[in-house]
Amino acid sequence: MKTIDVTVPKKGLAVEILGGLTFVMVLLSLWAIFIYVPTERVMGIVQKIFYYHVSLGFNTFLAFFIVFIYSILYLWKRDFYYDIVAHAAAEVGIVLCSLVLITGPIWAKPIWGTWWTWDARLTTTLILWMIYIAYLMLRSAAGSDAQKARYAAVFGIVGFVDVPIVYFSIHWWRTIHPVVIKASGMSLAPEMKQTMFISLAAITLLHIFILTLRVKVGLAKHTLEGLKIKLTAGH
Amino acid sequence: MENLNYLFAAYCVIWTVIFGYMFVLSRRLKSIQAELDALKACEPGEGKSCKDTCACSG
């Protein structure tokens, strides 16, 4: 079993550039949403939730895809670094998925007249959230570090099956959820499309920034545990 | 400007959760880093006794 002996990385120039770029993009996205893009004719001002809601949804998929990839890498290489990244991505993914599940009903209430309906997209997203909550619960319940990482990796791979189901649910089943991306492309006005891409870039950068921070916490914790074992053995 | 309260609520929730999570992560990192620094001082060759730092006492 390979382990890593890492010193906690200091705040580097790359992280500072990423932080600055994220800040600028977030400000730009807020300007585009609240000032630049025109208000949608049918839904009115509440439609502006859409830009962050969709961006958060895309990043939820991205986070769980990272869990999937790093779980495969862990099982293949048996290096704890991959497990730390997978764990971090799962936690960040849950935060993003929670925001999707909160902003969706806030948008739905004035448009559909209800906070929640057992629609295919909503239900599969809730199941996705529950799967990764179970992933974190499994991590806290399993035994040794190696056992924990192995079980979590298998769960992280199997759990990813729900991601394509969530994405295609609006095509496979009858749904009231809006379908933005169709086979013919994005059905949006040019200003809306531009705002959508700016918001997507901003939330993706923010996601990467938070994930970097979370991985740093994971690495620091791993180093601390290793040092504690080393000191205990030395005494 | 109908339904402005829903829009306001959605963006408030998003930024509260994101900043809250980042704040929690920063605090977690700071506390682990402090414990790590204290333990590193206990390592052989660092010239300090474990009794000098409370982090090593457990």
Give residue A145's pLDDT.
83
Q: Which positions in chain B touch A26 (Cβ < 8 Å)?
A: none
- Total Cβ atoms within 10 A of residue A220: 23
Give residue A232's pLDDT.
82
What gap in Å lies between CA A39 and CA A34, rounded to an integer? Answer: 9
What gap in Å lies between CA A32 and CA A192, rounded to an integer? Answer: 9
CATH 1.20.120 correct for A13-228: yes
Please write the tens of the pLDDT for every residue from A17-63.
Answer: 999 999 999 999 999 999 999 998 888 899 999 999 999 999 999 99
* Selection from A61, A66, A72, A69 nearest residue A89 by Cα: A66
Among A residues 2-21, those touching chain B with beta carbons less than 8 Å apart: 8
Give residue B55's pLDDT.
47
Spell out the domain ranges in chain A.
Answer: 13-228
* Selection from A59, A58, A83, A88 nearest residue A72 by Cα: A83
pLDDT of A155 above 50: yes
* Model confidence band, residue A92 (pLDDT cutoffs 50, 70, 90): very high
- Mutation for testing the A interface, residue in B14, B35, B40 having most A CBs under 10 Å: B14
Torsion region of A119: left, alpha or beta (phi above 0 gives left; psi -120 to 50 gives alpha):
beta
CB B37 within 8 A of CB A224: no
**What is the ipTM, given to two decimal places?**
0.88
- Mutation for testing the A interface, residue in B19, B21, B37 having most A CBs under 10 Å: B21
Q: Which positions in chain A touch B49 (Cβ < 8 Å)?
A: none
A204 reaches B (C-beta below 8 A): no
Give residue A235's pLDDT.
63
